[in-house]
Structure 1
Amino acid sequence: MSGVSSAIYGLAGLTLDPEEKAFFRDADPWGFILFARNVEGVRQLSRLTLELRDCVGRDVPILIDQEGGRVARLKPPTWRAAPAAQRFADLYLKDEEAAIEATRLNHRLLAHELRAVGIDVDCAPVADLRIEGADAIIGDRAFGTTPEPIAHLGRAAMEGLMAGGVAPIIKHIPGHGRAKADSHLELPVVPEEHGLLSETDFAPFKALNDAPMAMTAHIVYADIDDSAPATQSREVVEKVIRGEIGFDGLLMTDDLSMKALEGTFRERGERSLKAGCDMLLHCNGDMAEMKAVAEGAARLDGKRLERADAAAAARGTIEEFDPQDAESRLNALLEPVTG
């Protein structure tokens, strides 16, 4: 795997066009990420994931954002409408054990649904806090307003996914919940003191620091480094993410095409790798942008390669599973929330 690039790319449509095939074959990315624009149905999606792996000639990780709620690329009526994280957070306030079991079952079902179409990495769980007065971009995607439920429910989500052979990605490390702006649209600045952030925002990520992968937050934490967003801050990556939080898994950027970041796409990638990220994520499928990201990407070696191999291996053995029974049990557990 020594020739593989430190990049994950999206693609434009429902199938690969000749230019994409040639680019991906040459760029040799570590993985791909899919969105609603790439999804028409079960047969098409299954063909596409096979086509992507055939294109690079190996069992490449294929990612998707399938959290449930409003962040779900696979949608009804073809796929189950999985609940948003807040539904489990609400149950946790009434019955902690039921909420943990429901979260585990829901994510085991998600894994089952994803593996059926060749997807084996889920950009979930969200380990950010839901904070009143912050931008709504996190909102009901969070498992709670305090670290404890997020840590417990995030752990259950990871366990459910991995039992189904799907590797989880905790996001958005070291914490997006306090941001008062959407990093898709602009660069948020969090002014709160480091000590407060350690006790609150960073705490769920510390509890889940054995996750195989994490995705960064494009956020400036002014009390730690007021000159760069976490994705491109060596101070944040080394001292907070690797040091204080203790995360030693594969660290990928959030989408490089988000408006929170500045500079050319080559510069965005180079700054992120220099700060200590292992992997560059580019999502929109724009060929010119992807070519520029490829110029800034590095070939995986050393510690980056070790982390990438460990992350790929987290797409492990699929445990025996009865999806109908699991969905029935999940619905029974969630009934007190809706009943």
Structure 2
Amino acid sequence: MIGALMLDIAGTELTQEDIELLQAPQVGGMILFARNIQSPQQVRALTDHMRRIRPDILIAVDQEGGRVQRLKQGFTALPAMGRLGELYVHKPEQALWLAEQCGWLMAIEVLAVGIDFSFAPVLDLNAVSDVIGDRAFANNIQDIVPLAAEFLNGMKRAGMANTGKHFPGHGSVKADSHVAAAIDSRSYEEIYQQDMQSFIQLMPQLDALMPAHVIYDQVDPNPAGFSAYWIQHVLRQQLNFDGVLFSDDLTMQAACVVGDAGVRIQVALQAGCDMGLVCNDRAAASTALQAITDLPLPNQQRLARMRGKIPAIQIGQSLDLGPEWHTTRETIEQFKQSFH
């Protein structure tokens, strides 16, 4: 059974405390960070160990490309998605082909080391937000949608579920929700016509969404990830989205307006999130776990769709995933060099 809480660990292998946490029924996922990564072989040993303890655990990572790429040593350094947007203006066919290749390459490497999925792609606009910036494909919906659609096709071809983020859009908010309260004072109609369109148009392809820790104060007083209005009324009822909803990290500063970690996870789940992330704070993780011990487990069928097609292969210190992988890596490397 898959629990409602996604946690992290401190090192490159499991401690006894980590093992005990993994055994808690309400822990349903683990997310890996750069500090957990030494080599492809070590990551696969770590994820295999996690699954020996909890065969049903979902394992995730942030592997977007560019600035946000946790798997580095021994893995392909992907370009920021904004580079594809720049190419799309001049060479749309090449940009679309490369977007599919990037989605496939990212996913095949992540799956190979036993990780189910990456929280990708970013579907925000590259508008005023520094924390989004070139993590976004472009500064307009007309370019984002076709590029992201091809990236999603690449992920699917590799056997990975996807997560669009950060609904209904973080790109038009200047404040970084990691370190500050983020408020967007536009009307619902403005948000709908602008930032939301990438999510709406790509919804048939999306397996999961991650709501933003942004308060859209003309719409609802709560950050979107804690808002029954955004999650239940807009996403589930109006837009008929039936995929998984992951909270963004509940230790981020913008989430603290709700209360302590126990309150945050309860409010996120009550609002309609399927799984809440509590990262980089073991005390907060313990508080959150205690707070939901008696709550019912989340929708199992929905969460099970996030399980990746993880190959049964032996990984060495460096990856070698076959001829297509080699060719695709070379193609992406040539593309990156063209920007230098």
TM over 0.5: yes
Q: Which amino acid aligns with 2:65?
A: G
Matching residue of 1:68: 65
Matched AA of 2:79: P
SS at match of 1:254: strand
Identity fraction in percent: 33
Match of 2:85, SS state, is helix
**Is the Cα contact below 8 Å between 2:179 and 2:253 reproduced in 1?**
yes
Which residue in the other structure is 2:261 paired with? 265
1:102 aligns with 2:104: no
SS of the aligned residue for 1:80 comes to coil
1:32 aligns with 2:34: no
The 1-side partners of 2:339 and 2:17 are apart by 49
Counterpart residue number, 2:107: 111
> In the TM superposition, what are the counterparts of 1:7-86 in structure 2 within 5 Å?
7-56=5-54, 58-76=55-73, 78-86=74-82
Kindly indicate whether the alpha-carbon contact (under 8 Å) linking 2:26 and 2:297 is maintained by their aligned counterparts in 1: no
Matched residue, 2:132: 138
Q: 1:91 aligns with which of 80, 87, 92?
A: 87
Look up the match of 1:325. 327
1:224 to 1:15, Cα distance in 2 relative to 1, 3 A:
same
Looking at structure 1, the residues matched to 10 and 310 of structure 2 have their Cα atoms a distance apart, in angstroms, of: 31
For 2:173, give the aligned amino acid: A
Question: Residue by residue, what CA displacement relative to the aligned partner does 1:271-296 show, whole Å, maximum 9, x if unpaired?
Answer: 11111111111121x33211111133
Higher mean alpha-carbon deviation, 213-222 vs 107-116, is at: 107-116
For residues 24 and 60 of structure 1, the distance between their equivalents in structure 2, rounded to whole angstroms, comes to 8
Contact 2:117 2:162 in 1 (8 A): yes
Q: 1:158 to 1:296 in 2, by over 3 A?
A: farther
The aligned runs of 1:270-285 (5 Å cut-off) are 270-284=266-280
C-alpha distance in structure 1 between counterparts of 2:275 and 2:104, whole Å: 26
Q: Find out whether 1:194 has 2:166 as its counterpart.
A: no
2-side partners of 1:317 and 1:23: how far apart?
23
**Cα gap change, 1:27/1:295 in structure 2, threshold over 3 Å: closer, same or farther?**
same
Cα displacement string for residues 189-225 of structure 1 (whole angstroms, at most 9, x for unaligned residues): 1011111111110000111213111111000111211
Structure 1 residue 178: Cα displacement: 0.9
Equivalent position amino acid for 2:222 in 1: A
User: With structure 2 as the length reference, what TM-score do the two structures score?
Assistant: 0.90
- How many residues are paired up? 326
Aligned equivalents of 1:336, 1:96: Cα separation in 2: 19
Question: Following TM superposition, by how much is the alpha carbon of 1:335 offset from its aligned partner in structure 2, in angstroms?
Answer: 7.2
1:167 paired residue number: 161
Deviations 1:22-65 (A, max 9, x none): 12212452221000011111222111111111121x14221000
Aligned to 1:309: 304
Gap regions ≥5 residues in structure 1: none
Please tell me the residue identity of whatever aligns with 1:44: Q
The alignment's TM-score, normalised by the length of structure 1, stands at: 0.90
The range that moved more, 319-328 or 196-205, is 319-328
- The question of whether the paired residues in 1 share the 8 Å contact of 2:99 and 2:151 is answered with yes
User: Take 2:203 and 2:240, find their aligned partners in 1: how far apart are those partners?
Assistant: 6
1:250 maps to what in 2? 244
For the residue of structure 1 that corresponds to 2:174, the secondary structure is coil
Distance 2:158 2:101 in 1: 10
CA separation of 1:246/1:98 partners in 2, compared to 1, >3 Å: closer, same or farther?
Answer: farther
Query: How far off is 1:147 after superposition?
Result: 1.1
Q: CA deviation at 1:83?
A: 0.1
Q: CA RMSD in A?
A: 2.1
3-state SS of 1:53 partner = helix
- CA separation of 1:246 and 1:151: change in aligned 2, threshold 3 A: farther
CA distance in structure 2 between the partners assigned to 1:186 and 1:117 by the alignment: 34
Q: 1:175 & 1:143 partners in 2: Cα distance?
A: 13
Give 1:129 shift. 0.3
Shift of 1:101: 0.9
Q: Distance in 2 between matches of 1:325 and 1:260?
A: 42
- Consecutive unaligned residues of structure 2, counting only runs of 5 or more, are 312-320
2:38 maps to a residue whose letter is: E
